[in-house]
Structure 1
Amino acid sequence: MNSCRICAGPLDEFLDLGRQPLSDAFRLPNDTRDEFFFELRVGLCRSCTMVQLIDEVPREHMFHEDYPYHSSGSSAMREHFTGTARYLLDTELRGPDAFAVELGCNDGVMLRTISEAGVRHLGVEPSGGVARLARGKGIRVRTAFFEEETARDIAATEGRADVVYAANTLCHIPYLDSVFRGLDAVLKPTGVFVFEDPYLGDIVDRTAFDQIYDEHYYFFTARSVRDLARRHGFELVDVRRLPVHGGEVRYTLARAGQREPSPAVAELLAEERTRRLHELDTLRSFASRVETVRADLVALLERLRAEGSRVVAYGATAKSATVTNFCGIGTELIPFVCDTTPAKQGRLTPGAHIPVRESAEFAAPYPDYALLFAWNHAAEIMSNERDFRASGGKWILYVPDVHIV
């Protein structure tokens, strides 16, 4: 029996997405090295209700010098992180010599606003390439994984923080015991830990199975976060639903007894109970819908090919690796995928080896259909690609089900 990384309780597997590659390992066409694969299985802990991957991928395989994702690559996300920074400046960073630490600061998109406000800050980012981009914007960054030892050194050399923030980072880290010992070391007694990650409730509602890939180890709920925090002397004191990345929740943790939990915490906990979100039957029903989406998507692509329609994909996202490899989609159905990220262009997608081309090739000429892997940025992308629709082109989406728009 597999055991939970949080409480050592038994895990019940409810979804198997098969043999998967590293989601951000885009290969050069002439790269003949063996590709890393692992089994992408998901389980529910019977004891603490934490949903998590059953097999762990070594962190060095995922977060390294050439990590290709840039947080500032989307205008919607730039706006979101600017708003987040202003929220922290207005609430937690108002005192003299305020200090903010960000885990997984990526290219510095959030901390830039903190820096421009003159507030002391430090980013902790293990991927060297994006860390250099942040430094180029004037952000102070330590290239390291955040864990207890890192945090103690930061506290000793920089002082303790008013706020530690993380976006789409905590769910990547299996070893949360060390992270929470680090938070205890680096936060001031009245400091808070604020983090936002994909919300299991939205993943289930939208059948968004592509949110499950190697980098996303945990899938949080208010209940599982509350239990996790209590194990380490913290308390969940606020939650806020966010529309970004297909649905996230921003959680705020404080040391036990320091702050009164907001009504939003009890409201979300009650909603999760009503929805039976932590019950195995609910998650198995989700897994059944995933199988339906796979069958429907492959059937649609095969029908369009038989009819002579030209189909390409848009957005070489990390989550698209889950879709292509789980569904068995290769170049016979999708000849290439367009993406705006220079680091991915000219490479092949993980596992499926679909060529990634620059977005200019999307219009040379326009395809009949475009499979939108970056569905969480649909509004921004469809607005930017209005001419595609004007030419008669149609978008294919698979969240929450397979449909054409």
Structure 2
Amino acid sequence: MICKICDSKKIFELINLGRQPLANKYPKNKYEISKEKKFYLKILFCKTCRSAQIKKIIDRKYLFEDYYYLSSVNKKLKSHFEKLAKTLTKYKFVIDIGSNDGVLLRPLKKLKIKALGIDPSINVGKIANDNGLKTFIGFFDKPIIKEILSKYPKPDLIVASSVVTHLDNPKKFAKNIKLLLEKNGDLIIEIEYLQNILKNLEFERFYFDRPFYYSAYSINNLFKKVNMSLYDIELIEAHGGSLRCYIKNIKDFKKTIRCRNILNNEFKKLNINSFKIFNNKIIKEAEKFKYNLLRFKKQKNTVIGYGAPARVSTITNFANIDSSLIDYIIDDSPLKQNRYSPGKHIRILPKKKNINNKIQNVIVFAYEYFDDIKMKFNKYNVIFFKPIPFKRIK
């Protein structure tokens, strides 16, 4: 085996989350359930560049041609991108890769910053275009770069939030960024932080849509190969704890002190042993979660979930939790409603008529947004729980 980021042979299989379906494919009927495929979700760790990778790569076209995640449905995420947009006023032309339904393009437009998006999802990209947010629908590759550069100048800023984790070929992505970005231009990448995933036991963040899980160390390594420089890093709250990486289209651009400190810290703390400890803990936590759901059901409680992000699939399939333990899941996205969770087929329903006084326990799968979720139940006497690590939240 070879690391797909740095080509190192020092890569080891350390975690096996069992057979898992595709986490963002929500079947709507028995026929679609019968066509569902499962694959072994095995996690590799590269000792050289401090990255984690999924062993089996699923064809990206199959994963993203029809997608069920709308960023703008999420109020907290919407606010996150509105705040980011306000910091970008010095740039003349911004391209947002993985622009989804235009969650960043919209505030950029309000600020009169010239911007366009690129997104592979036909249905989600159409939503952005229908709202007047110019979006090229397709994968970020040479043909789409050629098309953009035939109509527009090179951007002085490229933004890619929660994108690099979804790639099947990170090295190709880095080369394409180099090709599109203006000389001396900036790249801003936001990544769910590998070190936080281990620290918080968030195994649910591993699923097939995301083959790669980065540290700042691995981002530095990846872009160094195309003569670009990671020069600054911010720790941000998005997705339960992420990194915002600032990368300059210049070789050997000077790093900030906080950037150097984070890189040094990762080199010491991200290792094979930290993954082995993580693996032992998540097995126990999955067992604990299921045990408590069984306990609630013995008490004849109605147990529901709130939020059906992709992590629901990883958690429920690894812990073997189905509709006998969780009655249904409420989700605010119309694209997921009246469908079923992948693999374990728990019903996903809209909020209307499904929040009621029959509910005793709510498993908050979208736990980053608990404050908003809690408000929806303020008329009812329910107890909230985070699934992993399993604990009551107030």
**If the length of structure 1 is used for normalisation, what is the TM-score?**
0.93
The 1-side partners of 2:37 and 2:295 are apart by 32
* 3-state DSSP of counterpart to 1:165: strand
Alignment equivalent of 2:352, drawn from 353, 357, 360: 360
- After superposition, the Cα gap between the structure-2 partners of 1:162 and 1:258, relative to the gap in structure 1 and judged at 3 Å, is farther
Q: Which residue of 2 aligns with 1:252?
A: 246
2:94, 2:159 within 8 Å by CA — same for their partners in 1?
yes
Contact kept? 2:50, 2:214, Cα under 8 Å: no
How far 1:259 sits from its partner (Å)? 3.7
Post-superposition offset of 1:258? 6.9
Shift of 1:249: 0.4
| Most deviating of 159-168 and 23-32 | 23-32
Partner-residue secondary structure (3-state), 1:51: strand
Q: Does residue 1:402 correspond to 2:390, yes or no?
A: yes
| Residue 338 (structure 2) aligns with | 346
Question: Aligned to 1:197, what secondary structure does the other structure show?
Answer: strand
User: Match for residue 387 of structure 1?
Assistant: 379
Matched residues in 2 for 1:157 and 1:231: separation? 29
Q: Are 2:108 and 1:114 aligned?
A: yes
Q: Which residue of 1 aligns with 2:161?
A: 167
Write the distance in 1 (CA, Å) between the matches of 2:5 and 2:144.
21
Aligned 8 A contact 2:5 2:170 in 1: yes
Q: Identify the residue that residue 75 of structure 2 maps to in structure 1.
A: 75
1:268 and 2:257 matched = no
SS of the residue 2:183 aligns to: strand
Cα-to-partner distance string for 1:262-296 (whole Å, 9 max, x where unaligned): 2220121233244x12x100111111111011110
Alignment deviations for residues 29-59 of structure 1 (CA, whole Å, 9 cap, x no partner): 2325411222111111133222111111111
Gaps of 5+ in 2: none
The whole-number CA distance in structure 2 between the counterparts of 1:370 and 1:384 is 12
Which of 140, 150, 153 does residue 156 from structure 1 map onto?
Answer: 150
The alignment partner of 2:12 has SS state of strand
Asked if structure 2 preserves the Cα contact closer than 8 Å seen for 1:149 and 1:182, the reply is no
Q: Distance in 2 between matches of 1:229 and 1:342?
A: 38
Q: Secondary structure at the match of 2:339?
A: coil
Structure 1 residue runs of 4+, over 4 Å off?
Answer: none
2:124 equivalent to 1:125? no
Separation in 1, partners of 2:354, 2:2 = 46
- Higher mean Cα deviation, 319-328 or 7-16? 7-16
1:52–1:218 Cα contact (<8 Å) kept? yes
Q: Note if contact 1:313-1:338 (Cα within 8 Å) is conserved in structure 2.
A: yes
Q: Hey, what does 2:7 align to over in structure 1? A: 8
CA apart distance, 1:180 = 1.5
Question: What residue identity is the alignment partner of 1:233?
Answer: N
Matches of 2:164 and 2:353, distance apart in 1: 36
CA contact (8 A) 1:40 1:54 kept: yes
Q: Contact 1:237–1:260 at 8 Å: present in 2 too?
A: yes
Q: Secondary structure at the match of 2:87?
A: helix
8 Å contact kept, 1:172–1:216: yes
Deviation of 1:101 (Å): 0.6
1:190/1:258 contact within 8 Å kept: no
Cα deviation, residue 162, structure 1:
0.4
Per-residue deviation, residues 74-131 of structure 1 (Å, max 9, x unmatched): 1111110001111122x4x1xxxx2111111000010111122222222001101111
User: C-alpha separation between the residues in 2 aligned to 1:31 and 1:86?
Assistant: 46
Aligned to 1:287: 279
Question: Is structure 2 residue 206 aligned with structure 1 residue 204?
Answer: no
* Cα distance in 2, alignment partners of residues 55 and 201 from structure 1: 22
1:148 and 1:180 in contact (8 A); partners too: no
Q: Provide the aligned length of Structure 1 versus Structure 2.
A: 391
Report the CA distance between 1:215 and its aligned residue. 1.4
Where structure 1 has 5 or more consecutive residues not aligned to the other structure, the ranges are none
Q: 8 Å contact 1:72–1:107 — kept in the other structure?
A: yes
Counterpart residue type for residue 297 of structure 1: F
Query: Aligned in 2, Cα 1:308/1:219: closer, same or farther, shift over 3 Å?
Result: same
